Amino acid sequence: MRKRSKKVLALLLSAVMAASVAGCGSKGTASQPAQENTAAGTDEAAGTAAAEGEENTGSAYADTLTIDVFAENANYQGLQSGWFAKIIKDKFNIELNIIAPNISGQSIYQTRSAAGELGDIVCLGSEKMKDCVEAGLIYDMTDLVKDSAILKPFEAGALGLSDYFGTDDRIYAYPTNASGVAKNTEAAQVRNGAPENGFYTRWDYYYELGCPEIKNMDDILTVCRQMQDNHPTSDSGKPAYAFSLFPDWDGDSMTCANKYAIMYGYGGTTGYVFYKANGKDYFDIADDNGIYYKTLEMYYKANQMGMLDPDSSTQNFDDLNAKVADGAAFNSPFPIYQYNTPENVAEGKGQVFVPVGDMDYAPLGHSVHGQGGTMAMGSTVKNPERVFEFFEWLNSEEAMMLTFAGPEGLTWEEKDGKPYLTEYGKEAMQGGDPQNIPVPEEWGGGNFSDGANRIVSSVVYKMDTNPTYNEPYDPSMWSTTMQENRTKIDEQWTETFGSEWPLDYVAEKNALHPMPGIAYRKPQDSGDIKTKRSQCGEVIKEYSWKMVYAEDENTFKSLWQEMKDKIKGFGYDEVLAYDLENLKVIQKATEEALAGN
């Protein structure tokens, strides 16, 4: 493929990323006739179109190509519209047709897989992608990617997937949410300068108490009791609770309990085993001394103290968000910012991270191996060179900036070598998330969020560093944005704890240990293990919720023992032994990653 200008490559990368996200999970076919599988064939086709003098959008191609993107994580289905659609149509004469199981139903994956046609771009979790590679549903991109400067930084991640797929050094897919520049021991999960997991609570309530030191979970309960006593009702006069949980994220256990494992250093999981960044320290979910049990115990004590929302076992996450917005629920193990409106924050009111003395934050680290998703091209793609050209561009610097920060000149601009949000951009990209505000007609019209890249997945992680500016692609994390957005709460926080940002404080206390990136991919459970894990999971979830609402300590402990006896009968020991064997592989990969960092 000939070298193109930086701007065109960037746009191509952005489209590729978009297509990658949408492509995860379904199938689609390009509308163009097949071309010879060489880069030269692509350029010749472009030259022919130009020579014929056909009217087009400015792209090198006269004919419009519709690319089907099967995007497992997308929350939109149909043709991409709005400002992003205009950019890729003008630059590449391409339209994106997004196929989203989240919208059309999960059965569409089986239907399209059975038909042998997933899509032109496919975005799936690594386990499904492995199945699709083995079934011949994914295109071998090896020859296409060999001269790609854009994808070269992610080659190790792609080859790690090749080992997992069993395809030797043939490249069929790239990991998503990957870093091409950061060390794998640098924290990837950060937002607004704070950890993604930890003790999040109402700053104004905590500040009112004089910011007492919180050493451990018992202190969390003590401080929460004081805050709830001082503020027993919400803004609308409803009962307020320090703890409000929800079950709809539960898998094989209670998710609201699992989140504290990350806060306490156990950021890695393989089945029922939670492990630390060194790969050596671990506990299993039925461990009497594990964080899972200790968190259930904290929730039980909170309920005994009248601090647990009685709706916790039946409400969903949206219900909780509404309560947070009303001030009826005021702490959680991860940020829920519904109360942090500009008006409230200006008054020093809102939910923020507050450090706990014995915490040991274990976020995901940046990694060329990504975070579990994959992006590829479908084997039935009818115009592989042209689709790859777009796929490649989707992961370029320019496309990443488009995807995560919007169009330069509209939402952001460069000053003195740094990116700054424009006044329009500040409104359109609040918190780094696109908002639905009108878009000027010359930029495509419609609303901003509706017109954003709908694929959701990309090879490049939005928190990865853009080498041009030495800043993340996420505009909420630009140094310029963070300084402009410092609030009364930020100033009070710095005055209290002595660090500019919460993550700085955690690092200074030697309580930040990111999980290093490794090529390990958890193998699929065998039929027997899958059945046993499912049966154990139902018991663990049922009893976890019963324990939280236990009438007294004896009942709490007897329920825990009853749970352990039941899961043992369903084969928990066999499942745990299998998980521990996988941990041995993780430990070896972790040792190698840390040695090479």
- pLDDT tens digits for range 170-213: 999 999 999 988 776 777 767 678 898 999 999 999 999 999 99
Position 24 pLDDT exceeds 70: no
Closest CA relative to residue 31, chosen from 314, 329, 380 = 380
Closest CA relative to residue 347, chosen from 468, 485, 488, 474 = 488
CA gap 44, 358 in Å, rounded: 63
Position 427 pLDDT exceeds 70: yes
Q: Can you tell me the mean pLDDT for 22-47?
A: 35
CA gap 337, 417 in Å, rounded: 31
pLDDT in tens, 135-158: 999 999 999 999 999 999 999 999
Question: pLDDT class for 46, splitting at 50, 70, 90?
Answer: very low
| Residue pair 172/133 in contact by the 8 Å Cβ criterion | yes
Task: Among 137-146, 411-420, 468-477, name the one with the lowest average pLDDT.
Answer: 468-477
Q: What is the pLDDT of residue 58?
A: 61
Q: Can you tell me the mean pLDDT for 252-265?
A: 96
Q: What are the structural domains, with CATH classification, of the chain?
A: 6-182+369-407 (3.40.190.10), 197-362+486-597 (3.40.190.10)
Higher pLDDT, residue 5 or 445: 445
Position 42 pLDDT exceeds 60: no
Please provide the average confidence, as pLDDT, over all residues in the chain. 89
Half-sphere exposure of 302 (CA within 13 A, CB side): 28
Q: What is the pLDDT of residue 23?
A: 37
Position 28 pLDDT exceeds 50: no
Higher pLDDT, residue 578 or 24: 578
Q: What is the pLDDT of residue 596?
A: 67
Task: State if pTM tops 0.85.
Answer: no
Q: What is the pLDDT of residue 592?
A: 83
Position 19 pLDDT exceeds 50: no
pLDDT in tens, 509-561: 999 999 988 888 888 899 999 999 999 999 999 999 999 999 999 999 999 99
Q: Chain centroid to CA 59: how far?
A: 33
CA gap 96, 79 in Å, rounded: 6
| Residue pair 186/503 in contact by the 8 Å Cβ criterion | no
Q: Which structure tokens are listed for 79?
A: 């043709």
